[in-house]
Amino acid sequence: MSVLVNEKEFFTATEIATDVGVVRQTLWRWRQSGKIPKGHRFRDRQILFTQEERELIRDYAHKLEPAEVDGRENV
């Protein structure tokens, strides 16, 4: 369930995790490592994300990278 703050829609971490198909712990790991946006703290507790951040997280969750084995490209 999205949250409306100052007439702007925000999405909870649970919504985002469900949307991209990962558990919340994975989302937190990605946040801590700087792979996805940090989001916005709401009422000193809940982390919320904008629609733009949601799209960035979705893009990151579904991107493909070349696989490497021992520093070499896996062919």
In a domain, 40, yes or no: yes
pTM for this one? 0.81
Rg of the chain in Å (alpha carbons): 15
The residue segments making up the domain with residue 14 are: 3-64
Q: What span, in angstroms and rounded, lies between the C-alpha atoms of 21 and 18? A: 5
Is 72 inside any structural domain?
no
pLDDT exceeds 60 at position 75? no
Pairing mode, strands 40-42 and 8-12: unpaired
Cα–Cα distance list, 59 to 7, 45, 54, 63 (Å): 25, 26, 9, 6
Question: How do residues 17-69 score in pLDDT, each as one tens digit?
Answer: 999 999 999 999 999 999 999 999 998 788 999 999 999 999 999 998 888 77
Q: Is residue 10 part of a domain?
A: yes
The count of domains in the chain is 1
Identify the pLDDT of residue 71: 66
- Would you say residue 73 lies in a domain? no
Predicted pLDDT at 23 = 96
How high is the pLDDT of residue 48? 96
